Protein backbone atom coordinates (compact mmCIF):
# COMPACT_ATOMS: atom_id res chain seq x y z
CA UNK A 1 0.00 0.00 0.00
CA UNK A 2 1.29 3.45 -0.94
CA UNK A 3 2.00 5.95 1.85
CA UNK A 4 1.42 9.12 -0.18
CA UNK A 5 -1.76 10.33 -1.81
CA UNK A 6 -1.30 12.64 -4.80
CA UNK A 7 -4.46 14.79 -5.17
CA UNK A 8 -3.58 15.75 -8.78
CA UNK A 9 -1.54 14.31 -11.61
CA UNK A 10 0.65 17.40 -11.38
CA UNK A 11 1.38 16.63 -7.72
CA UNK A 12 2.48 13.13 -8.73
CA UNK A 13 4.66 14.51 -11.52
CA UNK A 14 6.30 17.05 -9.22
CA UNK A 15 7.09 14.30 -6.67
CA UNK A 16 8.48 12.06 -9.42
CA UNK A 17 10.91 14.66 -10.75
CA UNK A 18 12.00 15.76 -7.28
CA UNK A 19 12.81 12.13 -6.44
CA UNK A 20 14.56 11.61 -9.80
CA UNK A 21 16.77 14.66 -9.26
CA UNK A 22 17.70 13.40 -5.81
CA UNK A 23 18.27 9.79 -6.85
CA UNK A 24 15.53 8.73 -4.42
CA UNK A 25 14.28 5.38 -5.72
CA UNK A 26 11.69 5.00 -2.96
CA UNK A 27 10.28 8.45 -3.72
CA UNK A 28 10.11 7.70 -7.44
CA UNK A 29 8.41 4.36 -6.93
CA UNK A 30 5.92 5.95 -4.53
CA UNK A 31 4.54 7.79 -7.59
CA UNK A 32 4.18 4.65 -9.75
CA UNK A 33 1.05 2.51 -9.60
CA UNK A 34 1.68 -0.93 -8.11
CA UNK A 35 0.49 -2.71 -11.20
CA UNK A 36 1.91 -5.30 -13.53
CA UNK A 37 0.75 -3.33 -16.58
CA UNK A 38 2.81 -0.16 -15.93
CA UNK A 39 5.27 0.70 -18.72
CA UNK A 40 8.57 2.58 -18.78
CA UNK A 41 10.82 3.34 -21.74
CA UNK A 42 14.12 5.13 -21.11
CA UNK A 43 15.76 7.01 -24.02
CA UNK A 44 17.04 4.41 -26.46
CA UNK A 45 16.00 1.61 -24.11
CA UNK A 46 13.68 -1.33 -24.30
CA UNK A 47 10.07 -1.31 -23.13
CA UNK A 48 9.86 -2.36 -19.49
CA UNK A 49 6.56 -3.78 -18.26
CA UNK A 50 5.55 -4.40 -14.66
CA UNK A 51 6.37 -2.89 -11.30
CA UNK A 52 9.51 -4.95 -10.60
CA UNK A 53 11.05 -4.32 -14.05
CA UNK A 54 10.39 -0.60 -13.76
CA UNK A 55 11.76 -0.46 -10.21
CA UNK A 56 14.91 -2.36 -11.19
CA UNK A 57 15.63 0.07 -14.05
CA UNK A 58 15.27 3.14 -11.83
CA UNK A 59 17.37 1.48 -9.12
CA UNK A 60 20.18 0.97 -11.67
CA UNK A 61 19.99 4.64 -12.65
CA UNK A 62 19.97 5.78 -9.01
CA UNK A 63 22.89 3.45 -8.15
CA UNK A 64 25.22 5.62 -10.22
CA UNK A 65 25.02 8.18 -7.42
CA UNK A 66 24.93 10.94 -10.03
CA UNK A 67 22.69 13.85 -9.04
CA UNK A 68 20.70 15.36 -11.89
CA UNK A 69 19.26 18.77 -12.60
CA UNK A 70 16.07 18.51 -14.64
CA UNK A 71 14.33 21.46 -16.24
CA UNK A 72 10.86 20.72 -17.59
CA UNK A 73 9.48 22.66 -20.56
CA UNK A 74 6.75 22.69 -23.20
CA UNK A 75 4.16 20.92 -21.04
CA UNK A 76 1.00 19.89 -22.85
CA UNK A 77 -1.71 18.36 -20.65
CA UNK A 78 -4.68 16.27 -21.73
CA UNK A 79 -7.01 15.76 -18.77
CA UNK A 80 -9.77 13.30 -18.19
CA UNK A 81 -11.63 12.25 -15.09
CA UNK A 82 -9.58 9.09 -14.60
CA UNK A 83 -6.58 9.55 -16.90
CA UNK A 84 -4.20 12.46 -17.54
CA UNK A 85 -1.44 12.58 -20.16
CA UNK A 86 1.52 14.96 -19.89
CA UNK A 87 3.68 15.53 -22.95
CA UNK A 88 6.80 17.60 -22.24
CA UNK A 89 10.52 18.05 -22.69
CA UNK A 90 13.01 17.21 -19.97
CA UNK A 91 16.34 19.01 -20.16
CA UNK A 92 18.68 16.83 -18.10
CA UNK A 93 21.99 18.18 -16.84
CA UNK A 94 24.51 17.54 -14.11
CA UNK A 95 24.79 20.23 -11.40
CA UNK A 96 28.05 22.17 -11.67
CA UNK A 97 28.85 21.06 -15.21
CA UNK A 98 28.88 23.54 -18.07
CA UNK A 99 27.64 21.06 -20.68
CA UNK A 100 24.23 21.86 -22.14
CA UNK A 101 21.32 19.91 -20.71
CA UNK A 102 20.31 16.94 -22.86
CA UNK A 103 16.76 17.34 -24.21
CA UNK A 104 14.40 14.39 -23.93
CA UNK A 105 10.83 14.16 -25.27
CA UNK A 106 8.61 12.58 -22.63
CA UNK A 107 5.08 11.28 -22.26
CA UNK A 108 3.87 10.61 -18.72
CA UNK A 109 0.47 9.02 -18.17
CA UNK A 110 -1.31 9.18 -14.81
CA UNK A 111 -4.26 7.16 -13.57
CA UNK A 112 -6.64 8.29 -10.84
CA UNK A 113 -6.80 5.51 -8.26
CA UNK A 114 -8.50 5.08 -4.91
CA UNK A 115 -5.25 6.35 -3.37
CA UNK A 116 -4.72 9.41 -5.58
CA UNK A 117 -3.03 9.86 -8.95
CA UNK A 118 -0.33 7.36 -9.98
CA UNK A 119 2.05 7.16 -12.92
CA UNK A 120 1.32 4.24 -15.24
CA UNK A 121 3.51 5.17 -18.24
CA UNK A 122 6.81 7.05 -18.59
CA UNK A 123 8.11 7.07 -22.17
CA UNK A 124 11.26 9.10 -22.83
CA UNK A 125 12.95 9.49 -26.22
CA UNK A 126 15.97 11.45 -27.44
CA UNK A 127 14.94 14.83 -28.80
CA UNK A 128 16.57 17.29 -31.19
CA UNK A 129 18.93 19.73 -29.45
CA UNK A 130 16.37 22.52 -29.66
CA UNK A 131 12.92 21.00 -29.24
CA UNK A 132 10.01 23.15 -30.23
CA UNK A 133 6.47 22.69 -29.09
CA UNK A 134 4.17 22.09 -32.02
CA UNK A 135 0.68 23.40 -31.39
CA UNK A 136 -2.26 22.39 -33.53
CA UNK A 137 -3.65 25.09 -35.77
CA UNK A 138 -6.81 26.83 -34.62
CA UNK A 139 -9.87 25.63 -36.43
CA UNK A 140 -12.36 22.82 -36.39
CA UNK A 141 -11.38 19.71 -34.53
CA UNK A 142 -11.98 16.42 -36.35
CA UNK A 143 -12.20 13.13 -34.51
CA UNK A 144 -11.65 9.85 -36.32
- CATH code for position 43: 3.10.450.50
pLDDT in tens, 96-129: 777 667 789 999 999 999 999 999 999 999 887 6
Decide if 36 is inside a domain. Answer: yes
Decide if 135 is inside a domain. Answer: no
* Residue 127: partners with Cβ closer than 8 Å, 6 or more residues away: 89, 103, 104, 105
What is the distance between the alpha carbons of residues 118 and 33, in angstroms, rounded to a whole number? 5
Decide if 115 is inside a domain. Answer: yes
What is the distance between the alpha carbons of residues 6 and 102, in angstroms, rounded to a whole number? 28
Q: Is the pLDDT of residue 132 over 60?
A: no
Decide if 139 is inside a domain. Answer: no
Tell me the residue range of the domain where 17 lies.
9-126
Burial bucket for residue 58 (CB in 10 Å: 0-12, 13-18, 19+) = buried
DSSP character at residue 99: S
pLDDT in tens, 22-70: 999 999 999 999 999 999 999 999 999 999 999 999 999 888 887 888 9
Total number of domains in the chain = 1
Amino acid sequence: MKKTTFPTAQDAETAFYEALEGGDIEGMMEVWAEDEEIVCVHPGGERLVGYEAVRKSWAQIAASGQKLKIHLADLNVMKGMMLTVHSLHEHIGIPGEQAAAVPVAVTNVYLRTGNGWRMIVHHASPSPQRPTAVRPADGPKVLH
